[in-house]
Amino acid sequence: MSLFVMKFGGSSVGSAERIMRVAERIIEKKEEGHQCVVVVSAMGDTTDELIDLSRQLSDQPPAREMDMLLTTGEQMSISLLSIALHAKGHEAVSYTGWQAGMTTDATHAKAKITDIQPQRVLDSLEAGKIVVVAGFQGISKDGEITTLGRGGSDTTAVAIAAAIKADACEIYTDVDGVYSTDPRIVKVARKLVEISYDEMLELANLGAAVLHPRAVEYAKHYQVPLVVRSSFTYNEGTLVKEDAVMEQGIAVRGIAYDKNVARISLIGVPDQPGVLAKVFGSLAEQSIDVDIIVQSGITSEKTNFSFTVSLTDLEKALAVVASIKDAVPYDEVSSETNLVKVSIVGAGMVSNPGVAAKMFDVISQQGISIKMVSTSEIKCSCVIDQEKLTEVILALHSAYGLDTNQTAFVGGPKDRR
């Protein structure tokens, strides 16, 4: 008997019919002799509908009240799923975030979990019940209802799995695993059998939407084995764990891309101490995340530098840059959009020095210019024109031996491990 946390997203419980299907899926697991804690998100479009309703009342609803509003979405799903499980003859009990002991800090809309006291969950498991827990929500120590922000239900699932020492946390979603890259672009993208936490974290941060980075971080911290798999099929999913085995001869695990990127360049900035700190300090004060930063000297007195921000932050960032012109008297500022950041990720890169060089080579062979570069031990990112995305991804995927028709993949999933 194993103890599983199973997390189902909003589209998996988007209608009565789908809730019934999810119930069946859970019952199969239970009838295999396992204990099940299920974490669910709000049904389909519920959250968006609630947000719409609030917007009819206010442009700036208080975060506390939005948390009060949005947490009803998961409370509906947990009760409906429990009702479905009962209808199919299984004892089930639903718990809201606070009932499940999910304590968070008091930062509404993006609270962080500070403690979990899962006694009720454990008692109900002990009593043979299926436990259904509301994702995304918690309670502050002052008894305020909070939400965990984006990706919150994944985080809830992982956190509960850690707290109750589950054997695995299964994330059921509308794709059947983590792919080497976006299968909508690369038809021969491969589903990964395994991936390490670090690699998954990079992929998630770099644009792969299948798991939220916070959930992966949490899983890594508590060493919770994660499985990403489909709600709709029985295909084997992808296992996320500490030391994922690399397929032979392959240094790159996956290729991610992110279109939410814009470049700002400051030309002719006085080469003085504190200038960079002033620029990026001012951006940070406005909660603008800066990603890649590239500096290049032109004369001994002046320098140029470029940096990327989210496309959605561009206007705000340009306003900040304009506002500090007195303190940082640059000659010129320019910005560029229609960009994409393409990243290769793989734990093997650290021991294979040629991996990043190959990326530059492949891209330049396509006659495409690389605008910015950023590297870490397990990833390399290049910013290029968005219109070149498809050809670059296809070329990289093939060059790193990731296409499913390439020889590295002869054999079934087990052979590949």
Nearer to its own copies, 60 or 407 (CB): 60
Q: Which of 72, 230, 304, 406 binds its own copies (CB under 8 A)?
A: 72
Helices 63-87 and 16-31, packing angle to 10 deg: 60
Distance from C-alpha of 135 to C-alpha of 408, rounded to nearest angstrom? 39
- Looking at residues 33 to 52 of the shown chain, list those that interact with its own copies (rule: CB under 8 A): 50
Alpha helices (H) in 56-97, listed in sequence order: 63-87
Alpha-carbon distance of 281 to 259, in angstroms, equals 25
Rg (CA), the chain: 24
Report the distance separating Cα 313 and Cα 261, nearest Å: 9
Shortest Å, Cβ 72 to its own copies: 4
List b or e across 166-176, with b for residues whose CB sees 16 or more CB atoms inside 10 angstroms. bebbbbbbebb
Among 36, 80, 125, 186, binds its own copies (CB under 8 A): 80
8 is in an annotated binding site: yes
Cβ atoms of 342 and 381 within 8 Å: the answer is yes
Task: Tell me whether strands 379-385 and 339-345 are parallel, antiparallel or unpaired.
Answer: antiparallel
Q: What's the farthest any 2 CA atoms get from each other in the chain?
A: 78
74 is in an annotated binding site: yes
Question: Residue 409 annotated as binding?
Answer: no
Mask: binding to its own copies, 92-111, rule CB under 8 A, as x and -? -xx-x--x------------
Torsion, CA 318, CA 322, CA 323, CA 328, rounded to 10: 120
Q: Is 174 annotated as a binding residue?
A: yes
Number of residues that bind its own copies (CB under 8 A): 37
117 binds its own copies (CB under 8 A): no
**Rounded (10°) angle between helices 213-222 and 152-163:** 10
Give the range of 68-76, 169-177, 393-401, 403-411 binding its own copies by CB under 8 A: 68-76
State the Cα–Cα distance between residues 104 and 262, nearest whole angstrom: 34
Taking CB under 8 A as the rule, does residue 65 contact its own copies?
Answer: yes
| Interaction between residue 192 and its own copies (CB under 8 A) | no
170 is an annotated ligand-binding site residue: no
Among 24, 48, 58, 312, binds its own copies (CB under 8 A): 58
Nearer to its own copies, 78 or 340 (CB): 78
**Least Å from the CB of residue 126 to its own copies:** 16
d(CA 134, CA 62): 22
Q: Is 76 in the site for its own copies (CB under 8 A)?
A: yes
Q: Which is nearer to its own copies, 46 or 196 (CB)?
A: 46
Neighbours of 411 (CB within 10 A): 10
Residue closer to its own copies (CB basis): 84 or 169: 84
- Cα-based torsion angle of the residue sequence 198, 204, 210, 214 in order, rounded to the nearest 10 degrees: 80
Q: End-to-end CA distance of the chain: give it in Å, rounded.
A: 25
- 47 annotated as a binding-site residue: yes
Does the footprint of its own copies cover residue 21 (CB under 8 A)?
no
Among residues 21, 34, 64, 112, the one that binds its own copies under rule CB under 8 A:
64
Q: Is 9 annotated as a binding residue?
A: yes
Identified binder of its own copies from the candidate list 78, 111, 344, 389, rule CB under 8 A = 78
Q: Which is nearer to its own copies, 145 or 309 (CB)?
A: 145
| Residue 309: strand, helix, or coil | strand
Applying CB under 8 A, does 20 fall inside the site for its own copies? yes
Residue with smaller CB distance to its own copies, 29 or 120: 120
Torsion over CA: 210, 212, 213, 216 (sign)? negative
Please report, as residue ranges, which positions from 142 to 181 form the binding site for its own copies (by CB under 8 A). Answer: 143, 145
Binding site residues for ATP, as ranges? 7-10, 173-174, 179, 184
Which spans of this chain sit near its own copies (rule: CB under 8 A)?
Answer: 16, 19-20, 50, 53-54, 56-62, 64-66, 68-69, 71-72, 75-76, 78-80, 82-84, 86-87, 93-94, 96, 99, 120, 143, 145
Binding site residues, as ranges? 7-10, 47, 74, 173-174, 179, 184
Binding site residues for substrate, as ranges? 47, 74
